[in-house]
Amino acid sequence: MQNILILGANGRIACFAEQDLLAKTNYQLIYFLRNSSRLTIQNPNREQVIEGDATKVSDLERALVGVDIVYANLAGKDIVQQAQAIVQAMQKQGIRRIYWVSSLGIYDEVPGAFGVWNNQTLDGYLQPYAKAAAIIEAAPLDSTIIRPAWLTNQNEVNYEITHKNEPFKGTEVSRKTVGVVISELIQNPQKAINDSLGINKPNTDGDKPAWY
Ligand SMILES: NC(=O)c1ccc[n+]([C@@H]2O[C@H](COP(=O)([O-])OP(=O)(O)OC[C@H]3O[C@@H](n4cnc5c(N)ncnc54)[C@H](OP(=O)(O)O)[C@@H]3O)[C@@H](O)[C@H]2O)c1
């Protein structure tokens, strides 16, 4: 049995991953978030809530006690401070395995006209996301960076994966897909160590996501 700490546990992708982990494993899930009243607990024997801020090392250290795997589903302008605090707290508590949700485009790996559009549209967002991912990758941790395409709320699981140093494929992917992929990765923690996975829906290549 594993203890999984989910940072940003009320995030939309995180909620899909949590449902999948509850259904397919017997793992204990520890939900870390700023406002615990937002979450509904279904199984108090397996779900625990800790209020905290991911920029605060002391909050993180408290939450990391007894944890095997960290899954960070975070966002925000202070994403770099969050990455720094998480690395510091994990090292202090001697925990190595982390899944870090980032974004397509952090390595300028999106090819063609879509890549140009993506860089322009995400200017100001991609830079801190790239820096935060680089902090996680450079840390003495066993990390997997997750780079979703543009997110949809489609009720589907349909994906293909690209790896670091490969051109990104497609334009979109559903949050449900990303949550299920992360759940599967957490169930196979020896896989994709120190890798960075692009996730997209097949056959969605284009100059922009379809809804733009
Ligand atoms: N939109 C896209 O097309 C797209 C594409 C690729 C990647 N992404 C990225 O993928 C990631 C996950 O997506 P998502 O839809 O699951 O995002 P989301 O629903 O916005 O979840 C992010 C979570 O981070 C939490 N958070 C932010 N700062 C925090 C802090 N200091 N301490 C604790 N929690 C904090 C938020 O909590 P609060 O509720 O307390 O604010 C929120 O629940 C995001 O970083 C997003 O930018 C987005």
Residue to substitute in 10, 106, 107, 173 for testing ligand 1 pocket (most ligand atoms within 8 angstroms of CB): 10
What's the pLDDT at 85? 99
State which amino acid sits at residue 71: Y
Residue 81 CA, closest ligand 1 atom number = 31
CA angle 72, 76, 77 (to 5 degrees): 130
The count of domains in the chain is 1
Calculate how far, in angstroms, residue 73's C-alpha sits from the geometric centre of ligand 1: 6
What's the pLDDT at 131? 98
Count CB neighbours of 107 within 10 A. Answer: 19
- Give, in order, the Cα–Cα distances in Å from 28 to each of 31, 33, 103: 10, 16, 27
Calculate how far, in angstroms, residue 6's C-alpha sits from the geometric centre of ligand 1: 12
Q: Within a domain: residue 207? A: no
Which helix (H) or strand (E) segment holds residue 152: the answer is strand 150-152
pLDDT tens for the chain, 212 residues long, are 799 999 999 999 999 999 999 999 999 999 999 999 989 999 999 999 999 999 999 999 999 999 999 999 999 999 999 999 999 999 999 999 999 999 999 999 999 999 999 999 999 999 999 999 999 999 999 999 999 999 999 999 999 999 999 999 999 999 999 999 999 999 999 999 999 999 999 999 999 999 99
What is the domain extent for residue 173?
Answer: 3-200
Q: Within a domain: residue 209? A: no
Ligand 1 pocket, residue 200 CB under 6 Å: no
Ligand 1 pocket, residue 208 CB under 6 Å: no
Residue 55 CA, closest ligand 1 atom number = 31
Q: Within a domain: residue 21? A: yes
Ligand 1 pocket, residue 84 CB under 6 Å: no
Residue 82 CA, closest ligand 1 atom number = 31
Distance separating the N- and C-terminal Cα atoms of the chain: 44
Choose among 121, 124, 113, 125: nearest CA to 206.
113
Q: Is the CA virtual torsion 12, 128, 193, 95 positive or negative? A: negative
Choose among 156, 158, 166: nearest CA to 200.
158
Q: Is the CA virtual torsion 184, 187, 192, 196 positive or negative? A: positive
Q: Within a domain: residue 23? A: yes
Q: Within a domain: residue 196? A: yes
Count CB neighbours of 152 within 10 A. Answer: 18
Rounded to a whole number of angstroms, the CA Rg of the chain reads 16
Ligand 1 pocket, residue 63 CB under 6 Å: no
Ligand 1 pocket, residue 163 CB under 6 Å: no
Q: Within a domain: residue 152? A: yes
- Could you tell me if 204 and 42 are in contact, meaning their C-beta atoms sit under 8 angstroms apart? no
Ramachandran quadrant class, 75 (left: phi over 0; alpha: psi -120 to 50; beta: rest): beta
Q: Within a domain: residue 55? A: yes
Q: The domain that contains 193 carries what CATH number?
A: 3.40.50.720
Question: Can you tell me which residue has the tokens 């510091």?
Answer: 88
Q: Within a domain: residue 125? A: yes
What's the pLDDT at 1? 79
